[in-house]
Every structure is written in structure tokens, then in C-alpha cells.
Amino acid sequence: MARDVTDAAPISSRDEMVAWIAAGEKPQASWRLGTEHEKIPFYLADNSPVPYEGERGIRALLEGLGAAEGWEPILEAGRPIGLSDPEGGGAVSLEPGGQFELSGAPLESVHGTASELDRHLRALGGVAAPLGIGFLTLGMSPKWSLAETPVMPKGRYAIMAGYMPKVGSLGLDMMFRTATVQTNLDFSSEADMVAKLRASLALQPVAAALFANSPFTDGKPNGFLSMRSEIWRDTDAGRTGMMPFAFEDGMGYEAYVDYALDVPMYFVKRGDTYHDVTGQSFRDLLEGRLPGLPGERATISDWANHLSTIFPEVRLKRFLEMRGSDVGPAAMIAAQSALWAGLLYDRGALDGALALIAGWSAAMRQGLRDEVPRLGLKARIEGRSLRDVARDVLALARAGLARRARPDASGRDETAYLDPLDAIVAEGATSAEIWLARYEGEWGRSVDPVFAEARF
């Protein structure tokens, strides 16, 4: 989840909120990729979860990594809850259950993403190994119950945890037990944003299937290939989902702002204090009549933080966030950035993607989204298997990356990062299906071996 924004400039109108998003527009030459990934820590000795406090806890891990990297601590109530690169690069944050997240710097290519990830994992491994900590490459913790899962000391998460059970049955699982990988991409104009948003929203279930990697919960198969994706279907319908309005005539910044204004708030942050205003309206905050904080008026930070508490499959802020994928090993993290860069940063590929989804109705898109967590690439749309659709999507992305022509020092372009996804389509088996076969076979119906085989 995003770090809080601190900008006390007041805002009083819808137009200012629209302008804030529009200010994210960048010329194509300035487009960048930002990759974020979460990973679930555990103790190597007994596969148990890692608490925040203690000599070998999350806090010690944060402090050790900060010292090794020269990154500055992000503090809340005097306790470190993240790290920030003082040179303006990436950041590390904690998800509610201790998931360790790298929010990468905006980089020019997938090569940069892969290098950044390699550096991060090496530095983190150097600190984690003496503490006896490893990290899972799964989209959900495979064994621990909610009660066994640690709770991180972050004010916004306490507010969310109190609210989640009121609006869905699986919100706490989302917060405390899942892990995702996300790619953030730029847009040059409102029309460019809309085209990219529509293509990526419709194709997000394709990514969810390709990256399906969360088949275990509570020590046994959960009946899904991506339980993380299924969890999002019953988290909070008011702030999640496929945003059908994005495909309607007139879609643009204003339509998204109107959507966001109708999403109930979680909190208002003043100084270091999070004020619980769950269920209340940002429109009331604009007018100074928020029941939870009478007379308090909205600021830029309130707006940015509110946008970070909306969780559709693709999220718009000052960039677009691809949110549909389970995390996986390093090669899959880079593959996710390659997939979306290839599709959205080349006009020919983007046009091809829009043509591919042109006949998909809102009901068809939603039906696909509903089927993918269980069926993966075996889901169907327009009479075709998602495996066949994914093959077309990967061909578009590969061609787009080839035309981007971003070679590394050895002359290799970005297309090689798609190889793991091509292999999944060729074999017809996702990571989740491979793990399930091992569970039924050589693992002897135990999930414990996954801690050795699915870790960074």
C-alpha cells in the first residue's frame, strides 16, 4: 500500500482534484516504469511468521536494511515502519501482516527493474540471513491463520482492520495474508490514459491467470489457483472491481474523480494522528462538514491518501497501477513489468489490445474476472480459452517491446523478460498448478515443502 502523502495545500473544488490527477501527464520520452512487490517473511527454522518486535523481528530487519543501504527510516509513533532512499529512488514499506514491500524508483526500462530488484534482494538477503528470515514467492501465506499472523504498528491499518469486516468477508485476509506485484505506468494525455486504462482493465484477468500463485491457505489447497484474486472479490465492493464506467462514453479524469468521491473514506491524517472517519464522505470534508472532524477542510494530502485507499483492478492516481497479479519469483516480477510495458508503451500494441477486447461487454469482462481465480487459463471469453487469449496478448507485448528497442549493455532487448510467461502459456500450467501437483505428489499432501521451494 502507498506511503502517505504530506501536502497541506488546501483544496476546495472538484476541478482542483481533477487538475491534480492531470498533472501526472508526461511526454512519451519521459515515461517510466515503477515496480512494486510484496513478499511474506518467515523464520527459516520452523516456517513461522515474523513479528514486528524482537531481536529477529521485522523492526530489526528494517533497521538493518536501512543501515546497509543508507536509507532513512520512516517513523510512526517513534517506530520504523518503512525506509526511504534519500536520493529520491525507491522506498520500503510494511503491509499490515508484515509483508515487506519494495516500491521501486521510476525507471526507463525493464532492465532497470530487474537490476533494481536484484540489488534489493541481495541487500535484503544479507540482512535477513543472520536473522534466520526468508521470504516467500507466493501470493498468499500458505499456512498461518489470521490469528497467527502478526500485526504491524501502523495507524491507518488499524482503522482499515476495524472497517473491513463491515463491507466484505475477506478484507482482513487481503490485508494480512496476501502479496502482490504491481507495475505503475505513465500517460501523456487524458485520451492516452483512457485507452491504457480500458486495455489494462479488460486484460487484468489475463495477468491474474498468468501470475496465479496462491493455491494454499491454512495449510491445505484452498480450491483456487489465485486465492489472492478471489479474496479481492469479497473485500469491499464499493472500492474494488472492474470499473465498468471506465468503458462508457465520456470517460476521463472527471469521471474517475466522481467515482473516487463516492468511495467512503477510511481516515484523515493530521500531523502524526490518523482520525477514523470510516464510511464518511470526502465531499463533506471538502465542505468542512465531515462528522468525524467538524470544520476540518480537505488538503492535497487528504486527496492523494484517499486515492490510495481505492482498490480497483487498475488504479488511477498520477499514473496507472496494474493491480491484478500474485507476486512470484524475481523473473516473474520482471515479467509483469515487461508485459504491461510492451502492451501500453507501444501504440501498435495498445491498439492491438484495444481491438482484442473490443467485443467484450461489461458482463463478459466481469464474468472472466469471476472465473479466473478458480480456473486460471482455462477460463473462457467469447468462446475462446483464456490460454489462447493470453497467447495473443503476449505476442502483442513482445512486438511492442521489440519496437521499444531498449537494449541493455549486451544488446539484449526487453522481450526476453516475457519468456517465463510464454512458457506458462505453452505448457498450459500456472505456478499454482505446479505447486498443487507437487502437493499431491512428492510433498505427500503437506504444504511445508513450499517454504523451501517457493522462496526468494
Q: What is the pLDDT of residues 8-22, one digit of tens each?
A: 899 989 999 999 999
If one counts every other C-beta atom within 10 angstroms of the C-beta of residue 378, the result is: 16
Residue 9 placed within a domain: no
> Is residue 168 within 8 Å of 237, Cβ to Cβ?
yes
Task: Supply the range of the domain harboring residue 82.
Answer: 14-453
Structure-block grid coordinates of residue 405: 528497442
Residue 7 placed within a domain: no
C-alpha–C-alpha distance, residues 179 and 162, integer Å: 20
Question: Does an H or E element contain 82, and which?
Answer: strand 79-84
Confidence bin at 3 (pLDDT 50/70/90): low
pLDDT of residue 89: 87
Which tens digits make up the pLDDT trace of 310-364?
Answer: 999 999 999 999 999 999 999 999 999 999 999 999 999 999 999 999 999 999 9
> By percentage, how much of the chain surpasses pLDDT 90?
97
Residue 308 placed within a domain: yes
Residue 433 placed within a domain: yes
C-alpha–C-alpha distance, residues 131 and 123, integer Å: 13
Which tens digits make up the pLDDT trace of 401-419?
Answer: 999 999 999 999 999 999 9
User: Which of 238, 237, 255 is CA-nearest to residue 246?
Assistant: 255
User: Which of 97, 234, 222, 238 is CA-nearest to residue 171?
Assistant: 234
Residue 30 placed within a domain: yes
**Count of structural domains, the chain:** 1
C-alpha–C-alpha distance, residues 392 and 397, integer Å: 9
Could you tell me the CATH number of the domain that includes residue 392?
3.30.590.20
pLDDT of residue 12: 87
Which tens digits make up the pLDDT trace of 38-57?
Answer: 999 999 999 999 999 999 99
pLDDT of residue 199: 98
Which tens digits make up the pLDDT trace of 242-256?
Answer: 999 999 999 999 999
Which tens digits make up the pLDDT trace of 84-95?
Answer: 999 988 999 999
In the predicted structure, residue 208 carries a pLDDT above the cut 50: yes
pLDDT of residue 5: 62
pLDDT of residue 88: 84
pLDDT of residue 1: 45
Residue 100 placed within a domain: yes
Please give the DSSP secondary-structure letter assigned to residue 176: H
Residue 3 placed within a domain: no
In the predicted structure, residue 381 carries a pLDDT above the cut 50: yes
Q: Looking at residues 63-88, what average pLDDT do you find?
A: 96
Residue 95 placed within a domain: yes
Question: Does an H or E element contain 125, and which?
Answer: helix 110-131
